[in-house]
């Protein structure tokens, strides 16, 4: 049973079971959230809702509380009554945190603190980790800061560095990298620009917090007709070529062919 990851990954509060089906219908992957989306007093009811739901384990993961939290064991106990095979581990900071997750579960490690970002490569190398995600606001909070973005909406330097570190950590182990949520729900242009950068940089997916953001993410991860045509023509020109060659005035080598193959892979889902 293969777990499907992205490109559009939608968070859904675990204490809102009436939204589960709508979320699954809207996005490629759904994260049922037992952590930040649920207030402490609502967590028991959220776990009950999770236990009662029939969820597709190939498209749904559950975000559990940090391994250091007393809520973690309760979250894991609730999962034992489901068919869920993949969890997102909130505030993952070490390999030991991943080891705390029951051995039958795959893990998407959420590196959203200074310690988690610094240890991203080691966490990604864990055999049960299938991907990394990062989070801007929790990261800034862990550093004692007050905001992840400048007034013009761009990330602060430390946040950009953390984003790159998590992407590189995931890539070093051949694991998926998930870009952080875009909090300005109505700003579809800003989300599209951020997703376009994520695609070009090598992220596998982008998480979101509202169904209206799903279409924007999907459009950004789907290559344009021009990109598909260019990649197809480039790979066609490479047939029979020996070593580097020129194409449309540019020198082409194997790494450029890898870029073109990736475009067609995204186009074909």
In this structure, the answer to whether residues 164 and 200 fall within a common structural domain is yes
Residues 205-235 have pLDDT tens digits of 999 999 999 999 999 998 877 888 888 888 8
Residues 52-99 have pLDDT tens digits of 999 999 999 999 999 999 999 999 999 999 999 999 999 999 999 999
Distance CA 238, CA 232 (A): 10
Q: Which residues contact 208 (CB under 8 A, 6 or more apart)?
A: 8, 9, 10, 11, 27, 181, 182, 191, 214, 217
Q: Is the pLDDT of residue 1 over 70?
A: no
In this structure, the answer to whether residues 111 and 236 fall within a common structural domain is no
Q: Residues at the annotated binding site?
A: 63, 112, 138
Tell me which residue range forms the domain holding 73: 8-221
Higher per-residue confidence, 5 vs 226? 5
In this structure, the answer to whether residues 107 and 168 fall within a common structural domain is yes
Q: Residues at the annotated binding site for substrate?
A: 63, 112
- Does 46 fall in a domain? yes
φ and ψ at residue 167, rounded to 5 degrees: -60, -45
Residues of the chain with pLDDT > 70: what percent?
99
Structure tokens, 145? 């800061």
- CATH at 193: 3.20.20.60
- Does 95 fall in a domain? yes
- Does 2 fall in a domain? no
Q: How many CA atoms lie within 13 A of 221 on its CB side?
A: 25
Instruction: Domain count for the chain, please give it.
Output: 2
In this structure, the answer to whether residues 162 and 70 fall within a common structural domain is yes
Contact (CB, 8 A) for 189 and 225: no
In this structure, the answer to whether residues 102 and 32 fall within a common structural domain is yes
Residues 30-47 have pLDDT tens digits of 999 999 999 999 999 999
In this structure, the answer to whether residues 134 and 230 fall within a common structural domain is no
Q: Residues at the annotated binding site for Mg(2+)?
A: 112, 138
Q: Is the pLDDT of residue 197 over 90?
A: yes
Structure tokens, 139? 């990261």
């Amino acid at each position: 049973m293969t777990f499907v990851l992205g490109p559009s990954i939608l968070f859904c509060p675990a204490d809102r079971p009436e939204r589960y089906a709508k979320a699954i219908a809207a996005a490629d992957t759904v994260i049922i959230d037992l952590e930040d989306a649920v207030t402490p007093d609502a967590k028991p009811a959220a776990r009950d809702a999770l236990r009662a739901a029939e969820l597709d384990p190939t498209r749904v993961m559950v975000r559990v509380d940090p391994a250091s939290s007393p809520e973690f064991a309760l979250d894991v106990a609730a999962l034992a009554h489901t068919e869920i095979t993949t969890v997102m581990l909130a505030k993952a900071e070490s390999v030991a945190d991943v080891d705390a997750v029951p051995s039958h579960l795959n893990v998407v490690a959420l590196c959203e603190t200074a310690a988690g970002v610094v240890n991203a490569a080691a966490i990604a190398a864990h055999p049960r980790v299938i991907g990394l995600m990062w989070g801007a606001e929790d990261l800034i909070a862990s550093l004692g800061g007050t905001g992840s973005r400048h007034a013009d909406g761009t990330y602060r330097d430390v946040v950009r560095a953390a984003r790159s570190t998590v992407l590189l950590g995931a890539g070093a182990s051949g694991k998926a990298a998930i870009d952080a949520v875009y909090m300005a729900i109505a700003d579809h242009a800003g989300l599209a620009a951020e997703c376009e950068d994520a695609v070009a940089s090598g992220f596998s997916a982008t998480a979101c917090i509202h169904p209206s953001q799903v279409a924007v993410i999907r459009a950004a991860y789907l290559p344009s007709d021009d990109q598909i045509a260019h990649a197809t023509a480039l790979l066609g020109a490479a047939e029979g070529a020996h070593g580097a060659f020129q194409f449309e005035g540019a020198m082409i080598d194997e790494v450029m062919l890898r870029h073109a193959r990736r475009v067609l892979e995204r186009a074909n889902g």
